[in-house]
Amino acid sequence: MGFGFYNPLESKVKEPLNPLVLPYMKAEKLLQNFKWSPIDQMGVNERITRIKSRSIKNEAKIQGLKMALNMIDLTTLEGADTPNKVSQMCYKAMHPDNSMQGLPTVAAVCVYPTLVKTAKKALEGSNVKVAAVATYFPSGQANLQAKLDETVYAIGEGADEIDMVISRGKFLQGEYTYVLDEILAVKEICHASNVRLKVILETGELGSLDEVRKASDIALQANPDFIKTSTGKIGQAANMPVTLVMLQAIWDHYQKTGIQVGMKPAGGISDSKTALHYLMMVKEVLGEQWLTNEWFRFGASRLANDILMQLAKQKTGLYQSAGYFSKD
C-alpha cells in the first residue's frame, strides 16, 4: 500500500508502507505522563568550563583532529548551490588534502534534495554518505503531506540520510503530540528504506535549556538515529551548553531503553579547538562508544579547513594560510 502520493521507493522498501494519518495514537501514548525537571543552568556552565580547561597535545591531538575530520557532514545549503559546486565539495569530502597521507574522509556531505543525485554520482565508490535536508528545511512550515513528499523524493534520488526539522511553532504552542507524530511519520519512511534519520530541533528558537531538554526528550521518543541542534540558518546555532543538555537527554534515554541515538551539533563550529572540546564532552557524558561517525557528527562547512591547518601545523611546525586549502 502506498502513501496516496507519488512514491518512487516501491522497489526499495522492504515492507508495504501504511498510510500516514495524524494524529498517531502512539505519540499520545508515548508522551502520556511525561514530566520534565528544570535544567541546572549553573551546573551546566560549570561542567562546560571544566571541559574547556582541558587540553590535548601531541599524538593525542593529531588522533583527535583526524577523528573530528571523519565526523564532519560537509555542508552546502545555499540558494546559489549548483551541481558543479556540489561536485567540488564531494571531491574534497573524499580527498580532504592530497598532500597529507593517512587522512580519513569526512562522514557525509549534506545538500538539498535536488542535488542528491549529483552528490551520489560524485561520491560513487567511496564510503562518504549523502545526507539531504527535508521536511521544508529550514522553517518546517508546511503540512505533513508536503514534508513526506519531499522526504520520499530525497530518498528516491539516493539519499542515505535525511536531516528533518521539527515544527517549532507547534512545539512552542505546546502541541507536543503533533511534533512527535511528524517525527514518527518521517522515520517510518526513512527506516523502511534503510535510511538514517536526524531530527533538527533548531535550539536557537526554543528559548531556554529547559525547552531544549523537552524537545530532545520528545524527539527521542521516536528513537531516531540522531538528534541535531540546528539548521545553521539562524544566528544562534550549536553551542556547548545546548549540546551538553542534548547529550544528557540521549544518555538518560539510553539508560531507560538501551537504544543508542546519535548527536549532531551543527552551525557555528568552525575551529579545531572547539571541535576537540565537543569530543571531550561526548566521551565524558556518553562514553567512547559514541566516538565514531556512526553516532556523532559535526554539521559544518568551515571546520574541515581549520582541522587541515592544524594537522599541517603538527606535521611541519608552520601554519598554512586559510586560503591554501580549497573551500569546496
Cα–Cα distance, 81 to 33 (Å, whole number): 45
Cα–Cα distance, 222 to 185 (Å, whole number): 9
Indicate the residue type of 304: A
DSSP 228: E
State yes or no: is 264 an active-site residue: yes
Q: In what order do the strands lie in the sheet with 72-75?
A: 262-264, 226-228, 196-200, 161-165, 129-134, 108-111, 72-75, 298-300
What does each C-alpha distance from 135 to 54, 55, 150, 164 come to in angstroms? 39, 39, 6, 6
State yes or no: is 163 an active-site residue: yes
Say which of 160, 163, 225, 306 is annotated catalytic: 163
- Cβ-based neighbour number of residue 284 at 10 Å: 14
Cα–Cα distance, 290 to 266 (Å, whole number): 17
Say which of 92, 198, 264, 306 is annotated catalytic: 264
State yes or no: is 129 an active-site residue: no
Close Cβ partners of 213 (under 8 Å, ≥ 6 residues apart): 36, 39, 245, 246, 248, 249
Cα–Cα distance, 283 to 294 (Å, whole number): 14
Quote the strand ranges of the chain, DSSP E: 72-75, 108-111, 129-134, 161-165, 196-200, 226-228, 262-264, 298-300
Cα angle 35-38-39, degrees, rounded to a multiple of 5:
125
Q: Which residues are catalytic?
A: 163, 228, 264
